[in-house]
Structure 1
Amino acid sequence: MRSLTMPLIVAALLVGCRDDPEPTPPDSGTQQQQDSGVAGDDAGVPGDDAGVAEDPLPSGPPVPQGPPNVPEFKPAFPGQTRVPAIQTKTPLQVTEIASGLRNPWAIAFLPDQRMLVTEKPTGSLYIVTQQGAKSPAVKGLPAVDARDQGGLLDVEVGPDYATSQLIYWTYSEPRQGGNGLAVARARLVDGASPRVENVQVIFRMMPTLDSTLHSGGRMVFTPDGKLFVTLGERSILAGRVQAQDVKSHLGKVVRIHPDGTVPQDNPYLNTPGAKPEIWSIGHRNVLSAALDSQNRLWTVEMGPQGGDEVNRPEAGKDYGWPTIGYGEEYSGAPIHQSTQAPGMEQPVYYWDPVIAPSGMTIYSGALFPEWRGNLFIGGLAAKALVRLMVRNDRVVGEEHLLKDLDSRIRDVVQGPEGALYLVTDATNGKVLKVTPR
């Protein structure tokens, strides 16, 4: 196991300020990096109609991948990485719904099955029909800092949309001295020239830092009306060291009411000096989030060179970054002395080398019975839709779908009819629909 002197720790941290391997432009093919919180069947116990409860667990070799970046780091328990490869039995049909979107980041469904789609670098929001027609850009959104990993990020339709017409979005907010993730909501005025009215910023990540990296930005509404928001630690040394500090929002999952107020059962509400919105700490850059059928939050976060993690963040728990992990700096310099430490949670699953996750849903639909309860994660570096089969909160099988598209998949959501909808991260980004053939 590697050991570090203090000068080496500081040097390693400084090296790690580099962007996660997200290309600029994002589809240029440079080395890797890097919800649609559709509630799904119980990720631990699939639905009875899935036909898999009595099936034997998968066996055999894992999905083909390169050698680990940090081979001396071993999993903490069997099945924490490189589980057996599985294969979907249902033939798939991929239909292009729309194209011509510039690096789209997220999709959310309106009640009539039209989609809200964000463009990360332009700060534009569009309404896209099932036939592929795209509205003019929605007017009235605030300006974004669109550099690198910033811009307009996630979008969600409010749980009371039928009466309020409220939509919510996350974005990199330009500020004096830098920027930070913000969550805004507004009333959507539909029509030939859509716009938003009464924009309110309901949450601001603090402190402000001058970084263009690791904002996080996924949102998940819970059935009881709470809102989870995932936050990155900004990558640079000044932010990374705050990931486990409860006085900072950086590197956290937060939980708020839709108006931005703080739920009274949040874990740090009565901790002196702590940010009361915090739900869990010790995260790097969480870009995937969804709820299972027990309404438990699952996330996937970006690792550095190795160490992408699936977690199930629970109230008041510490997920270890940057003290523990399964990766290294992009230079090859070490980050962690160990993969485990007292009081810090282990990931449910990790990848080394990384898939670069972005966007996730847990499948609950009827179109693909064999997928019920499975996690689906957009893979940027993997250029795949990554499927994880989960039993009793452990990953038992993995599949990389749609590799033939050769596309960075930025978001995946389950549509109202049970199809999966994807957006591809490219200057000519697309909305795709996956159904049985």
Structure 2
Amino acid sequence: MTRRPTLALSTALIVAACSAGPATSAASGDSSARDASGAHPAAPVAEAPFTLREVASFDEPWAMTFLPGTRLALVTEKAGKLKLWQEGGATLDVAGVPTVAYGGQGGFGDVVLAPDFASSGMVYLSWAEAGDGGTYGAVVGRAKLVQGEAPRLEGLEIIWKQSPKVTGRGHYSHRLAFSPDGQYLFIGSGERQKFDPAQDMNANLGKIVRLNPDGSVPADNPFASQGGVAAQIWSLGHRNVLGIVFDGEGRLWNHEMGPRGGDEVNLVERGANYGYPVVSNGDHYNGGDIPDHPTRPEFAAPKLWWNPSISPAGLVWYGGDRYPGWKNSLLTGALSGQGLIRLAIEGDTLHKSDRWDFGTRVREVEVREDGTIWLLTDGDEGKLVQLVPKG
């Protein structure tokens, strides 16, 4: 059974959410906090328009998704478990999960529902898989979720793999999102800390991939005529994609960890090249310089970025009314930034509207059907936390 939750979060978790209009920063009106670049200071602790309800504990939770019409959620744990959380009830293990290559940044990854989940019961999962000669790569599979007292996955099949598998256990990314029309599956594929594959059309590393739901390649993909893995590619020049989401207008956004500095948010366009590792608004960890985006205008530039880094993780679009002033915003967790960040959308521009210091790493952000926002904190005592609107 899931351990009884305890309020292990910092008292700073009850934080300000001074949410003015979309173009207003919570950081004392400092316009620099809304700029595309530079630091993004956290809001001061003050009265918030929400309270925090800690409801469950998990061992290294990584991703979650709510089941429609229920008070249930699927939660992946990095070491290889899939949990079915039941509000007000026991948290159950889901049988039939794949064997994952756990270690480093690898293990169980994302979980999303098929667009026709209500009729098919299909779920999509990502995880790290071992290969030959000490190599690893991310894979994506799908299976039918059978619910009940002993939930299980049936008919698990792998529909996509990172190619090639490489050594090391970092930057799998393997975040998933379906297009609003349900016709296409988008996959964030990290460059596996190998740099050059992000520009190599013979590898699907450092790319955002677009597939049909069965894993086949759409004939109208931008590089379909090249064949091979290039046919899968929707965009390239990415580093470590840890958030991917469509907004209310059907536009695709992603965020990714930069090197030292340069974490960025991109408006993802068909066939666009986002420049990594040729350009970045950060530098190499060894201190080596990487030219900034403005030096190479042929590459698509991020809509905003952070320096110093906040290590973004998890990304949702919020279109509800439960939290005043938040409609049409992107919400991202922050790992090294230890909190939650709201980015207001105005046309194709983003504003760094709010940042709250939770004092703990936030791995995942999700929105339930009732318009409430839920978080997973990171680590072996990870918590499921609901932001309960006041009033």
Pick the TM interval, shorter chain. 0.7 to 0.9
Q: Evaluate the alpha carbon distance shift between residue 249 and residue 383 of structure 1 in structure 2; reply closer, same or farther with a 3 A threshold.
A: same
Cα-to-partner distance string for 1:384-406 (whole Å, 9 max, x where unaligned): 101112322222333212x2x41
Aligned residue for 1:284?
Answer: 239
Q: Is 1:110 paired with 2:67?
A: yes
SS in 2 for 1:217: strand
Aligned residue for 2:334?
Answer: 379
Q: 2:171, 2:190 within 8 Å by CA — same for their partners in 1?
A: yes
Q: 2:264, 2:302 within 8 Å by CA — same for their partners in 1?
A: yes
Aligned residue for 1:411?
Answer: 364
Q: Distance in 1 between matches of 2:255 and 2:214?
A: 26
Residue number among 95, 105, 117 corresponding to 1:139 in the alignment: 95
SS in 1 for 2:295: coil
State the shift of 1:369 in Å.
3.3
Deviating above 6 A after TM superposition, structure 1's stretches of 4 or more consecutive aligned residues are: 55-58, 83-89
Q: Which amino acid aligns with 1:266?
A: N
Aligned residue for 1:126?
Answer: 83
Structure 1, unaligned runs of 5 or more: 1-49, 64-77
Residue number among 264, 279, 298 corresponding to 1:309 in the alignment: 264
Q: Evaluate the alpha carbon distance shift between residue 153 and residue 163 of structure 1 in structure 2; reply closer, same or farther with a 3 A threshold.
A: same
State the shift of 1:82 in Å.
4.0
State the shift of 1:51 in Å.
9.1
Structure 2, unaligned runs of 5 or more: 1-18
Aligned residue for 2:344?
Answer: 389
Q: 1:155, 1:170 within 8 Å by CA — same for their partners in 2?
A: yes
Q: Which amino acid aligns with 2:110?
A: D
Per the normalisation by structure 1, the TM-score is 0.79
Q: Distance in 2 between matches of 1:171 and 1:197?
A: 17
SS in 1 for 2:225: coil
Cα-to-partner distance string for 1:249-275 (whole Å, 9 max, x where unaligned): 010000111110111211010125552
Cα-to-partner distance string for 1:44-70 (whole Å, 9 max, x where unaligned): xxxxxx9948x878852545xxxxxxx
Aligned residue for 1:348?
Answer: 303
Aligned residue for 1:187?
Answer: 144
Q: Distance in 2 between matches of 1:128 and 1:118?
A: 11
Cα-to-partner distance string for 1:79-136 (whole Å, 9 max, x where unaligned): 321488796986211101111x11100110112130000001x21000001226311x
Q: Evaluate the alpha carbon distance shift between residue 194 and residue 116 of structure 1 in structure 2; reply closer, same or farther with a 3 A threshold.
A: same
State the shift of 1:224 in Å.
2.1
Q: Distance in 1 between matches of 2:317 and 2:174?
A: 18
Cα-to-partner distance string for 1:146-165 (whole Å, 9 max, x where unaligned): 11100001001111111111
Aligned residue for 2:283?
Answer: 328
Aligned residue for 1:210?
Answer: 167
Q: Distance in 2 between matches of 1:286 and 1:278?
A: 14
Cα-to-partner distance string for 1:167-203 (whole Å, 9 max, x where unaligned): 1111001122311110000011112221111111011
Q: Distance in 1 between matches of 2:211 and 2:322?
A: 34
State the shift of 1:339 in Å.
4.6
Q: Distance in 1 between matches of 2:276 and 2:216?
A: 27
Correspondences of 1:162-311 after superposition (within 5 Å): 162-177=118-133, 178-225=135-182, 226-235=184-193, 239-271=194-226, 275-311=230-266
Q: Which amino acid aligns with 2:171?
A: H
SS in 1 for 2:87: coil
Q: Which amino acid aligns with 2:126?
A: T
Q: Evaluate the alpha carbon distance shift between residue 142 and residue 84 of structure 1 in structure 2; reply closer, same or farther with a 3 A threshold.
A: closer
More strand by share: 2
User: Which of structures 1 and 2 has the larger relative contact order (alpha carbons within 8 angstroms, sep 6+)?
Assistant: 1
Residue number among 296, 306, 312 corresponding to 1:357 in the alignment: 312
Q: Evaluate the alpha carbon distance shift between residue 337 and residue 431 of structure 1 in structure 2; reply closer, same or farther with a 3 A threshold.
A: closer
SS in 2 for 1:276: helix
Q: Evaluate the alpha carbon distance shift between residue 175 and residue 435 of structure 1 in structure 2; reply closer, same or farther with a 3 A threshold.
A: same
Q: Is 1:424 paired with 2:377?
A: yes
Q: Which moved more, 1:172-181 or 1:245-254?
A: 172-181
Aligned residue for 1:6?
Answer: none
Q: 2:293, 2:301 within 8 Å by CA — same for their partners in 1?
A: no
Q: Which amino acid aligns with 1:60?
A: D
Q: 1:83, 1:395 within 8 Å by CA — same for their partners in 2?
A: no
Percent same amino acid at aligned positions? 37
Q: Which amino acid aligns with 1:241?
A: D
Q: Evaluate the alpha carbon distance shift between residue 86 and residue 368 of structure 1 in structure 2; reply closer, same or farther with a 3 A threshold.
A: farther
Q: Evaluate the alpha carbon distance shift between residue 189 and residue 327 of structure 1 in structure 2; reply closer, same or farther with a 3 A threshold.
A: same
Q: 1:60, 1:85 within 8 Å by CA — same for their partners in 2?
A: no
Q: Evaluate the alpha carbon distance shift between residue 205 and residue 84 of structure 1 in structure 2; reply closer, same or farther with a 3 A threshold.
A: closer
Q: 2:281, 2:292 within 8 Å by CA — same for their partners in 1?
A: no
Q: Which moved more, 1:386-395 or 1:285-294?
A: 386-395
Q: 2:73, 2:85 within 8 Å by CA — same for their partners in 1?
A: yes
Cα-to-partner distance string for 1:367-417 (whole Å, 9 max, x where unaligned): 11310011110100000101112322222333212x2x4110000011111
SS in 2 for 1:368: coil
Q: Over the residues paired in the alignment, what is the CA RMSD in angstroms? A: 2.3
Aligned residue for 2:54?
Answer: 96
Aligned residue for 2:35?
Answer: 79
Q: Evaluate the alpha carbon distance shift between residue 85 and residue 212 of structure 1 in structure 2; reply closer, same or farther with a 3 A threshold.
A: closer
Q: 1:409, 1:422 within 8 Å by CA — same for their partners in 2?
A: yes
